[in-house]
Structure 1
């Protein structure tokens, strides 16, 4: 079983719109309402693959009730931690050329008691899990040291843990000694304090995070592919996506694919790439099913082209 933790979940409303023209009324060509948050998306992708998953979520108000109902309809077990604040709602706008504009609300603040209860709930639920994946931003009232407590609870329950945080917290996250962390190029650049113009620069940055305590680094490089740096070796892969409809949740789908395939080695990287390529071809934050995957299009090598110039070098 794969357990996910989303400290700041949301309802995601996604619209397909014509090119944005500020100050004008736009009519959407398509609309979706999905349970949101990075960890929530991981659970949705895991469930779509037919693998058991439980989502641990702090939920409040009518949006929290709807979020839990939507997840249940998608085959995700929900373990809710009741909070006094109201679960947030986010908006995503996708233009015909694939340009994505997101409006994310800050979400509710958690009290110290609610934060502690969330940790206790993870510790209890993780006894049945092989992996715990904690993803997304921390709510107001919760500091980066919360990750160290979370990792300790997961390990005490006998589970491995993957972290995909949002925000400038990677050094603290790595120091908590999770088995896997999953940054993108910009997050890596911020963590090491310099741009990463080539794949070789990304490898060096990932190795620095491993030196800080992370077991493995699964780096998402957008259209340039993904990189896995671990004790087993360094692997790089790509998977083309002929059409990009939405990148919302694509990184979360890739983490789900990685964990479903065992969470280690080139086979897991290949699964991550296949899931991401499938996700970007779907609307909104829809998660791929096995029928959407094209593993024949995935290429993984143990000899990464270190001089490859990246499309996005990241901005520290």
Structure 2
């Protein structure tokens, strides 16, 4: 079983418009309401691939009730941690050329007791899990070491741990020796405190993350695909994308695809990139299924290859 933990879930409303013009009145061409949050998206993708999954998330208010109701038709098993504040709502504007503008609420603060309950439920489920996957931003006021604490608790329970987050929470997860971290290029650049212009730069920084005790680093590179650093080896893969409809959830699909394929080696990277590429061709934050996949080759990293966007601009 794979347990996903999303401390800051959301309701995601996606609005399709022709072109975003600042200060203008726009008429939506299409609107979708989806369950949101990185760990939620990972769980949705895993369930669609028939992988046993449980999704742990704090829920509050009518928004939290709606979030759980939206997950029910997708048959995602949910363990709710009731909280006293409403679950946040996010808005994504998608233009006809695929340009995506996101307006994300920060999420309301959780109390100390609510954070403790989230940790307790996660530690309990970790005793029966192969992986615990902790994902996304932290709510306002949440301690920066929450993911580090979840890593240590899940590892002590015998589970492997993947973390997808950014900034200080990512640094804390690395220090706690997560098994797998999945930053995007901008997040890895922030961790390194410098721009990353070449694949070789990404490999170098991923290696420094490994030296902190992280076994595997999977980096989402946007249009440049993804890079996997595992042990002393590094591989790079790009995906075939005919039409970009929404980039929301693409990194979550990438992580889910990697886990579905065994979370090891170039075959898992190939699977991950197929999932990420499929996700950007779907509307809103709809997650791909195995029927949506197209596979491209994986190659050994060319350390001198330049990136389309460096980490400061991604």
Specify the TM-score bucket, using the shorter chain as the normaliser.
over 0.9
Deviations, residues 58-87 of structure 1 (Å, cap 9, x unaligned): 110000011011112111000000100110
Counterpart for residue 23 of structure 1: 23
Q: Within the alignment, does 1:200 sit opposite 2:197 as a pair?
A: no
Distance in 1 between the 2:32 and 2:12 partners? 8
Contact 2:148 2:169 in 1 (8 A): no
Moved more, 285-294 or 161-170: 161-170
Counterpart for residue 222 of structure 2: 222
| Structure 1: stretches of 5+ with no match in the other structure | none
Counterpart for residue 191 of structure 1: 191
* Residue 177 (structure 1) shift: 0.4
Contact 2:40 2:55 in 1 (8 A): yes
User: Given the two structures, how large is their TM-score scaled by the length of structure 1?
Assistant: 0.96
The Cα RMSD (Å) is 1.2
Deviations, residues 95-148 of structure 1 (Å, cap 9, x unaligned): 011110000011110111111110000011122221111110011222221122
Counterpart for residue 67 of structure 2: 67
Distance in 1 between the 2:250 and 2:271 partners? 13
Distance in 2 between the 1:164 and 1:170 partners? 7
Counterpart for residue 299 of structure 1: 297
Contact 2:145 2:169 in 1 (8 A): no
Counterpart for residue 130 of structure 1: 130
SS at match of 1:183: coil
Contact 1:168 1:190 in 2 (8 A): no
Contact 1:226 1:238 in 2 (8 A): yes
Counterpart for residue 56 of structure 1: 56
Contact 1:2 1:130 in 2 (8 A): yes
User: Given the two structures, how large is their TM-score scaled by the length of structure 2?
Assistant: 0.97
Contact 2:151 2:173 in 1 (8 A): no
Deviations, residues 188-226 of structure 1 (Å, cap 9, x unaligned): 111111111000001001101111221111000001111
Aligned residues: 313
Q: Within the alignment, does 1:40 sit opposite 2:40 as a pair?
A: yes
SS at match of 2:127: helix
Alignment of 1:1-316 (within 5 A): 1-231=1-231, 233-295=233-295, 298-301=296-299, 303-315=300-312
* Residue 167 (structure 1) shift: 3.5
Contact 1:171 1:209 in 2 (8 A): no
* Residue 157 (structure 1) shift: 2.1
